A and B are shown apart, each in its own frame.
Chain A
């Protein structure tokens, strides 16, 4: 294939064929990893679905879920995806400063999301709905908590990338890492949408 044909379809890489060849392999590998991770989530969803009735006389979703806070969390995460998109654009067009700023905003939204989630969990536990109360609550906490852990990992990753940009600038390997971080971050959004629709909405409607 010619150099043009091998260009990685991301928007923010340079014109070096070497970069594109490297991105091709590394980003593909990351897609494969995400696929594996998605299987993990799928099974947690399946487990949750089989356990929605296993409340053992304890609270059910409708008793403890809170619509307002869930909506805020959703908004925060979606907004963070947007801001990450802006950061991606800045790799190509902007300077380091703006890139930094967008990443910082993304990080802030991610952290806020985690804060709200933490508060939700704390309220539920205080209301007598800890994960050890019933199979249903175990499944809920582990599913949503696993997503939360992923977001935490994503936040750490953003910090690492900010450090790398500070040290190395937008070098080739940094860009390819940013591409993968982007996939990861948007992937978490999609998983959250699934959580919102499978966990919170039916729980609240019922």
Chain B
């Protein structure tokens, strides 16, 4: 065996060429990743916190901690994707009649990683994290149905995100866009490792999301507290349920699409190739059979957040609760009937296009119902302009605009004109930023005190809010104009002088968005430093209406010492009304909670290793990775002590401490919610 053979056996296609020294920008990015990872590791070592992290977080099966970890992951990935977005906007600002600073190939990698990260590693983990944290509390459960699987899902998602990060250091990423269309991602066009990174990162995350969907749906069906009928659930739980059902049905098409693409690339098959019977339209259909439901997976949970935030900060029952539920279900069903609108221009007959165009427009109806319901909830409410509410108002103004441009695009005749232009980019960012991202940020501000026991700083919250909104408007409104002026999407340079003013404004907007992100970091810093002033251990800082506010902040491991008895919608509000809130139960019982398990990190690391090995064709490592995943699963099935018991006495102590805190905190009126007077105990006010 020659040296080269041995190298190949051990390291596959890896070689010094994989390092990004061909470009200063790529090398810098790699440097940031390596230094960031090393820096974080050193810091943890220096603080001696590895054991703490492992015990209290990585191996924890507590849905609350898993939820928080998901959100942290998503914020890290958000930072990277926003920086990439800014680079693209800068490029388009300077690349008039010149090459700019990014070569086309690099620009293509940027829009691919930006899109892939934003969807799979920012949006999905963020909403999964929020649902994980909030939903079991809202339905009065002690955990999700399958806590260990929950941790495995997190492990798989993190593994995918890890591959995305590694791809910055070793090798070049795919240039095929977030949708990974062949032939761009086929061997013939791109024999490099880029598409393989995309395939395995996305596959890992889609497996994680399938399991998550199953877990959430079963939890909602089987773990509701006594009296919590489906139609008494907070709307956030309804949207979580519908999004989970969508995940169960819509993730498999993605898994199939990426798996078949992998068969083409690794085994020389011909699913989507240009020769020997391959048919890339099958990929387009499979991908969008996932892709369109996916955008509703992304938007339904934020709709749930809006429902909670608007009702809570208007101090009213949600207007039109049932219509909101039915609208949510209608959207979920319709979302499977519209996928062809992503490729109206790809040659099917006009009749087919018309059918899918009409189906697409139909979705506007339930969505419109929702907008009116939210506005009518505000009507004559006791509205407070807290940060989440500000986001909600921005959403109510900006989101319908994106919806309207969506209705335009649903018309195939119009779509033919603006397909593949920046008009589309403006449209979907107009849905995803005011709809999804603002929703997630509103949820983050709203539930942060529940998770950590202190409120986020209002002033910095408002600064960040203002920057997000201004940045969004400036960065994306010009793109509508550019699209109508026929500027194609995914362009790294242009020669049309008329575009320039718009791309300059858009670049400025992107910088404001970067500033907004920085403000969010400052906010965390400031809030942590001032946490004594905003401490809300008593648990109900916003005069809440749903069950998550009926616990201390942060909630104890077991959530509820005694499962709450639910008498109607807005369960906690009702309890406060008829004096059942904070009542000491007659007796406490031992409570079983899931014991920690290393399954999540083990499967995650094995999955990342397998993915990495497949990307670089390192056979032995891929086999070890896959066998470790399977072996861990089998080994786990022989473990019988999967729960630990919290003794009744312990529960009594924990509960007493909380009740004392509630009794000791003065009731705070809604007017004083954002002042240091707010200790997490809401005063009873009329309505």
Q: Chain A: residues with CB nearer than 8 A to chain B?
A: 24-25, 28-29, 32-33, 35-37, 39-40, 43-44, 47, 50-51, 54-56, 58, 131-136, 138-139, 141-142, 156, 160, 163-164, 167-168, 173, 177
Contact = CB atoms under 8 A, between A and B. Distances in A.
B222 A142 contact: no
By Cβ-Cβ distance, the 6 closest A-B pairs, closest first, are: A135-B277, A54-B277, A138-B269, A132-B268, A40-B252, A56-B276
Contacts of B203: none
A160 B259 CA distance: 27
B255 A40 contact: yes
Contacts of B278: 54, 135, 138
Contact of B263 (A56, A142, A156, A163): A142
Contact of B277 (A28, A32, A56): A56
Given A28-B221, A50-B279, A54-B279, A132 B267 contact: yes
B282 interface: yes
A167 B638 contact: yes
B217 interface: yes
Given A24-B222, A32-B214, A51-B277, A43 B270 contact: no
Interface string B606-630: 0000000000000000000000001
Given A25-B218, A32-B217, A142-B260, A43 B271 contact: no
Contacts of B255: 40
B145 A134 contact: no
Given A54-B279, A133-B276, A28 B222 contact: yes
Nearest to A168: B640
B21 to A, nearest CB: 36
Contacts of B645: none
A55 B276 CA distance: 7
B110 interface: no
B494 interface: no
A168 B622 CA distance: 33
A35 B277 contact: no
B554 to A, nearest CB: 26
A131 B279 contact: no
Given A29-B218, A134-B276, A160 B249 contact: no
> Which of A51, A58, A173 has the most CB atoms of chain B within a 10 A radius of its CB?
A51
Contacts of A58: 276
6 contacts: A47-B256, A133-B276, A135-B273, A138-B277, A141-B269, A142-B259
B637 interface: yes
Nearest to A44: B256
Given A29-B218, A32-B217, A36-B210, A47 B271 contact: yes
Interface string B87-103: 00000000000000000
> Which of A33, A43, A173 has the most CB atoms of chain B within a 10 A radius of its CB?
A43
Interface string B232-260: 00000000000000001101110110011
A133 to B, nearest CB: 7
Interface residues of B, number: 41
B256 A36 contact: no
Given A32-B214, A50-B279, A134 B640 contact: no
Nearest to A53: B277
Contacts of B47: none
A131 B256 CA distance: 17
Contacts of A173: 640
B634 interface: yes
B146 interface: yes
B251 to A, nearest CB: 7
B510 interface: no
Nearest to B248: A36
Contacts of A33: 214
A29 B214 contact: yes
Interface in B426-464: none
A138 B271 CA distance: 7
A31 B642 CA distance: 23
B308 to A, nearest CB: 26
Given A33-B214, A142-B271, 13 more contacts: A24-B222, A29-B215, A39-B249, A43-B256, A44-B256, A51-B282, A55-B277, A131-B269, A132-B267, A135-B270, A135-B271, A138-B260, A139-B271
B410 interface: no
A152 B407 CA distance: 48
A139 B271 CA distance: 7
Nearest to B255: A40
Interface string B369-388: 00000000000000000000
A36 B218 CA distance: 13
Contact of A36 (B214, B264, B276, B282): B214
Contacts of B218: 25, 28-29, 32
B409 interface: no
A40 B207 CA distance: 12
A173 B253 CA distance: 32
A173 B146 CA distance: 14
Contact of B222 (A25, A47, A160): A25
Nearest to B289: A43
A55 B638 CA distance: 47
B286 interface: yes
B248 to A, nearest CB: 5
Contacts of B640: 168, 173
Contacts of A37: 252
Nearest to B283: A47
A134 to B, nearest CB: 5
Interface in B283-315: 286, 289
B521 to A, nearest CB: 38
B648 to A, nearest CB: 19
